Chains A and B, each alone.
Chain A
Amino acid sequence: MTVTAGSPAALALGDDALVLSHRLGEWAGRAPVLEEDVALANIALDLLGQARVLLSMAGDEDELAYLREERAFRNLQLVEQPNGDFAHTIARQLYFSTYQRLLYAELAAGDGEFAPLAAKAVKEVAYHQDHAEHWTLRLGDGTAESHERMRRACEALWRYTGEMFQPVEGVDVDWPALQGHWLASVSAVLRRATLDTPEGPRTGAWSAGAGRQGLHTEPFGRMLAEMQHLHRSHPGASW
């Protein structure tokens, strides 16, 4: 089934939030402490709320979430990466929430179609960034083991950070400036966490912007299979 969608920008931003929310939802009942079960679910819910608003701007939220195939999703590859260990999840959160906070702050300040959503979401995203930053500090500057795990996680996800700054059609921001602010912010947090800023390439095997063009990594198809299975098994049903 082909689902036609409107604004590519609403889809790109909506898919980011939808997919990361799903990944965080996989943590429910598995977090290292009860407080983190609450926090991760809280972040997942905020993101799902953002996804619903954004996808509704592009079409029907459920059709878009459940009836598109992998090649039609426009999310960043970063957000579809499997949870891995807690450090991996936190590194993904640090990279993405810093990006989202900078992006939404700029969108909120403008008068484009995303300004009202961004104005609300930027408050949530500030909390997400704060959460990621604090855990980066605790893990980076905690024990030898946590330092090593956090270092590995930051390295492993680094290759997915370049695509965040590939311009999205219809999102009117200064992308190179955004990238500069992002690098400065993330590097400062990593330094405080006694971690080095990774030095490897930031675009992975695909060219930058792959996720935005519907080119995803292998784990994403499985994630969608699980997410969409029930909805697709009952065509036309309402829930």
Chain B
Amino acid sequence: MATAAAHQTARADADGTADEAARTAAAYEAVFDAAVAADERIEPRDWMPDAYRSTLVRQIAQHAHSEIIGMQPEANWITRAPSLRRKAILMAKVQDEAGHGLYLYSAAETLGTSRDELLDKLHNGRQKYSSIFNYPTLTWADVGAIGWLVDGAAITNQVPLCRCSYGPYARAMVRVCKEESFHQRQGYESLLALSRGTPEQHEMAQDAVNRWWWPSLMMFGPPDDESAHSAQSMAWKIKRHSNDELRQRFVDICVPQAESLGLTLPDPELRWNEERGHHDFGAIDWTEFWEVLKGNGPCNEQRMTQRRQAHEEGAWVREAAAAYADKQATGKARA
């Protein structure tokens, strides 16, 4: 009897605590929802739903990984850049990308993860990076096409993120977008020089645009009816526009730019639709998109191998830096 009574009391206590916890969580959640509704920024010390936190970690990490994997296709041309001016521009750009990676890992770390942990997840394939970087840079013109189209698509995606509900991410995006727009203009200018150059250069530029156009449209992600995270991200104001809206915006921006570049976009169905006030465009090859995402794109293997190799070959350097720092700290403590 005594035992049963004790059980009952314990259960009642536990229920009481659980109720209280539930009430507290609901109160926190209400505060969070109100802040999001009022377009206030959520900051690292604020309470946030676990799913909001994990969605942000996933998105910011993927964004950071994209910056560092994205160094590879462009760095591929640093040693072959055709003029010293272009070489300087390209080096500065690749350096900026490493810097963007750093901002973004820092933003992710405010959510209670660490850069090392995220890099591990990248290296063992548990976190992804943008599918675009699994395409090869085959000619110099690809560097210009990446600047114009890939950075252009990135900016279209990222400008709304400057108003994202999570403060550290939004602030990182403000800095990233400034530098990205600069790169995008440089890419456009580089393509323009090629387009107006010799016939061989013009052909090189057109070929690059032909190869990068569709992969750039895929950067906005799957169509709205197949996008797993969209609805919740929009409700949380992490995302402000749907994939298809942003993709349409990008197409509308690119069409006149292609005209002034003197280059064509490789889509026979691309035309102005007076009624919609937008350009209609052809169907995206979603099979290709999902294949690339699954790891079967032209460069997935190569990109990951180089990344893992850089990390593994650098291990002794990181260990040395840590050992030296320890010695310095011990030395100072002793002194």
Give, as a whole number of angstroms, the nearest-CB distance from B126 to chain A.
Answer: 19
**Count of A-B contacts with CB under 8 A?**
146
Give chain A residues whose Cβ lies under 8 Å from the Cβ of B87: 25, 48
Closest to B67 in A: A34
User: A38 and B320: CB pair below 8 A?
Assistant: no
Q: Are A29 and B140 in contact (CB under 8 A)?
A: no
| B91, A45: Cβ atoms closer than 8 Å | yes
List residues of chain A with CB within 8 A of the CB of B86. Answer: 239
Which chain A residue has the least Cβ–Cβ distance from B102?
Answer: A34
Complex: how many Å from CA A51 to CA B193? 24
A52 interface residue per 8 A CB criterion: yes
Interface residues of A in 120-141 (CB under 8 A from B): 137-139, 141
Produce 1/0 per residue, B290-321, CB < 8 A to A. Answer: 00000000000000001001110111111111
Residue numbers in B under 8 Å from A37 (CB-CB): 68, 71, 94-95, 98
A152 near B: Cβ within 8 Å? no
| Chain A facing B: main interface SS | helix
A238 touches B197 (CB 8 A): yes
Given A234-B82, A234-B201, also A52-B310 (CB < 8 A): no
B75 within 8 A of A: yes
Main secondary structure of the interface of B (DSSP, over half): helix
Chain A residues near B316 (CB, 8 Å)? 143, 145-146, 149
Give chain A interface residues in 165-190, CB to chain B under 8 Å: none
User: In this complex, what residue of A is CB-closest to B144?
Assistant: A239
A33/B79 contact (C-beta < 8 A), A49-B88, A137-B324 known = no
Q: Are A52 and B321 in contact (CB under 8 A)?
A: no
Are A52 and B84 touching (Cβ within 8 A)? yes
**CB pair B320 A142 closer than 8 Å:** yes
| Measured CA separation A142–B317 after assembly (Å) | 9
Q: Which residues of A contact B37 (CB under 8 A)?
A: none
Surface stretch bound by B, among A74-82, A91-99, A211-219, A222-230: A222-230
B80 interface contact, C-beta 8 A: yes
Q: Which residue of A lies closest to B80 (CB)?
A: A230
Total interface residues on B, using CB and 8 Å? 50
**Chain B 13-33 near chain A by CB (<8 Å), digits 1 or 0:** 000000000000000000000
- Quick check: B310 and A30 within 8 Å, CB to CB? yes
A37-B98, A38-B102, A42-B95 known; A31 and B88 CB under 8 Å? no
| Interface residue A28 (Cβ < 8 Å from any Cβ of B) | yes
Q: Which one of A45, A139, A231 lies within 8 Å of B317 (CB-CB)?
A: A139
Cβ contacts under 8 Å, A41 to chain B: 91-92, 94-95, 98
- CB neighbours (8 Å) of B79 from chain A are 22, 25-26, 226-227
User: How big is the A interface, by class?
Assistant: 35 or more
C-beta contact mask, A50-64 vs B, less than 8 Å → 1, else 0? 011001000001100
Q: Closest chain B residue to A65 by CB distance?
A: B84
Q: Which of A18, A26, A139 lies at the interface centre, i.e. has the most chain B CB atoms within 10 A of its CB?
A: A139
Contact of B92 among A45, A66, A137, A231 (CB under 8 A): A45
The smallest C-beta distance from B323 to any residue of chain A, in angstroms, reads 5
Q: Does B113 contact A (CB under 8 A)?
A: no
Sort A-B residue pairs by CB-CB distance and give the 8 closest, nearest first.
A32-B314, A142-B320, A146-B320, A41-B95, A28-B75, A32-B317, A37-B98, A29-B71
13 contacts between A and B (CB under 8 A): A25-B91, A26-B78, A28-B91, A29-B310, A30-B310, A52-B84, A55-B84, A66-B83, A139-B317, A143-B320, A143-B323, A237-B201, A238-B83
Residues of A that sit less than 8 Å from B by CB: 18, 22, 25-26, 28-38, 41-42, 44-45, 48-49, 51-52, 55, 61-62, 65-66, 85-86, 137-139, 141-143, 145-146, 149, 226-227, 229-231, 234, 236-239
